[in-house]
Structure 1
Amino acid sequence: MSNPAYFEFLCRMGDNTLVLGHRVSEWCGHAPALEEDIALANTALDLIGQTQMWLGLAAEVEAAGRSADDLAMLRDAWDFRNALLVEQPNGDFGQTMMRQFLFDAWHLPMLEALQHSGETRVAEIAAKSVKEAAYHAERSGDTVIRLGDGTSESHRRMQAALDLLWPYVGEFFVADEVDTAMAEAGIAPDPASLRAAFDRRVTDVMAQATLVIPDSDFAHKGGKSGFRHSEHLGHMLTQMQWLQRAYPGASW
């Protein structure tokens, strides 16, 4: 197991929560109800807190003098290693919650497995994050059910959201050389081993939501390699990194 592979894995975990956390935070002050506004803000804070731990450890492993803040705020879009699902635009409230649920359905079993990582620091971060992820999965699943099995309009929107986002889930379960190195080192599970738990949760929730899961998904090539520029991610980073880039090294 090489340090570059370990660093890459940690960036993937941290970038997923960072990008999704920022996306969710965009609802602050704009959600359809006060309760949802607060809940989404809390979800975003949870995800950013997890980011601090993952990218903080990544910076230590890299040992190049960078901090978690540097990794978050000073990398360009092509250097991010997040799954493509998490950077998709919010769309309407239903699309946001469908994106959240599909992520949560993967994130929870991933963290549960990482609690048994051979790397103590990874296991500790997973143990701190898994309770938050369990709550996120329960809440997003319940919301998908309520909207899917709600009015004809909410049902239509949730089915459209599922159809739009489903193609992105395959990326979570396809291994590359980094995933193989992490599995062989006992640091992280084989991505394919998480698919059964994901499918069980998704199948149960979609059945209760009266939504039809598309026939198949596919893994978007290049998502894990990072050697792609996403227009969605680029626009998001322009907003997220503006202050640091406008005033380099600024501190409070």
Structure 2
Amino acid sequence: MSGDNIFTGLVEEHDGDARWAFGTGFTEALAGVDTTLPEGVDGPALAEYCQMLGDDALVQAQRLVHWVTDAPELEEEVALANIALDLLGQARLLLARAGQADGTGRDEDAFAYRRDASEFRNVRLTEAPRGDFARCIVTLLVLSSWRLALFTRLAHSVDPVLAAIAAKGVNELAYHREYAVSWALRLGDGTPYSHERMSAAVADVWPLTGELFAAHPVETSLAGLGAGVDPASVREEVREVLDQVLTAATLDAPGAFPDGEVSGREGRHTDELAPLVEELQRVAREHPEATW
């Protein structure tokens, strides 16, 4: 990794447009992409995989929205809202692909608004309590680093739709990580109090990281076909990035990720998800025939 410091080194890896967030842009992202299922890839399995990745983005976006009107500065409210919009755009594309792949023709709204919390397949870290701003930053740092590693590989998926979604998402996620890194450095190597809060946030978030690298059978199967990514394959890359960032921020890097098991991917969630989903779905369920 080049650069004078961890921040510039990470930015250089995805140098290009100077913006840190791109917005949704979902209308044109898949224009001209062949939606035919790749030969040998099971449609329901691909749909379940897209649902997993889409739910991760959808639930994390909903959690980030809780910072609007509540972030330390107006600029940070706008920044976090834009990151949430990026994730929402990814969720829309992935959930729409799920409806194509499973043959039901369901659109993204059907997945987002017509499922109970137990039917969501997101990892638990995305639904974890919001906590303070330090916890928000550590959670965003972990999730964006993990998802960026996945999407970098998914950009070469044999499924052209997944590949197109991932190729677009790589730039968005790189800037999500850049934003989280900048705040991790600022708070971790800031005042004694900000350092204390960041240390506490790392301690709170780290036990939830093991699940990110536990492979569901669908992930393993699709990885073997070149359609998906085994999350275990990105464990060391993500750990190295986080170790470098935390060390540069004068925070103790916990080192190896804890062992984890597949939980959220199988619908086993914390008590935090149900009220989050209820909040997400309230208007759509109260006005089921409405058009927007």
Check whether the contact 1:81–1:225 (CA below 8 A) recurs between aligned residues. Answer: yes
Check whether the contact 1:101–1:141 (CA below 8 A) recurs between aligned residues. Answer: yes
Deviation of the 1:229 alpha carbon? 4.1
Show the counterpart of 1:118: 158
Counterpart amino acid of residue 124 in structure 2: L
Show the counterpart of 2:83: 43
Show the counterpart of 1:183: 223
Show the counterpart of 2:237: 197
Deviates more, 1:81-90 or 1:173-182: 173-182
Deviation of the 1:65 alpha carbon? 3.7
Show the counterpart of 1:147: 187
Task: Give the counterpart of 1:87 among 120, 123, 127.
Answer: 127
Show the counterpart of 1:224: 265
Check whether the contact 1:17–1:47 (CA below 8 A) recurs between aligned residues. Answer: yes
Distance 1:208 1:229 in 2: 33
Alignment of 1:1-252 (within 5 A): 1-214=41-254, 216-226=257-267, 228-252=268-292
Check whether the contact 2:127–2:272 (CA below 8 A) recurs between aligned residues. Answer: yes
Check whether the contact 2:263–2:269 (CA below 8 A) recurs between aligned residues. Answer: no
Deviates more, 1:64-73 or 1:116-125: 64-73
Counterpart amino acid of residue 181 in structure 2: G
CA RMSD of aligned residues (A): 1.3
Check whether the contact 2:211–2:259 (CA below 8 A) recurs between aligned residues. Answer: yes
Distance 2:84 2:216 in 1: 29
Q: Percentage identity across aligned positions?
A: 40
Check whether the contact 2:214–2:262 (CA below 8 A) recurs between aligned residues. Answer: no
State the SS of the aligned residue for 2:272: helix
Deviation of the 1:66 alpha carbon? 1.8
What is the total number of aligned residue pairs between the two structures? 251
Distance 2:146 2:196 in 1: 24
Distance 1:236 1:218 in 2: 26
Check whether the contact 1:168–1:220 (CA below 8 A) recurs between aligned residues. Answer: no
Distance 1:32 1:176 in 2: 38
Deviation of the 1:84 alpha carbon? 0.5
TM-score (norm 1): 0.96
TM-score (norm 2): 0.83
Check whether the contact 1:168–1:218 (CA below 8 A) recurs between aligned residues. Answer: no
State the SS of the aligned residue for 2:264: coil
Counterpart amino acid of residue 116 in structure 1: H
Check whether the contact 1:21–1:47 (CA below 8 A) recurs between aligned residues. Answer: yes
State the SS of the aligned residue for 2:104: coil
4+ residue runs over 4 A deviation: none
Counterpart amino acid of residue 236 in structure 1: L
Distance 2:261 2:217 in 1: 16
Counterpart amino acid of residue 126 in structure 2: V
Distance 1:184 1:39 in 2: 37
Distance 2:110 2:45 in 1: 19
Structure 2: gaps (5+ residues): 1-40
Check whether the contact 1:90–1:96 (CA below 8 A) recurs between aligned residues. Answer: yes
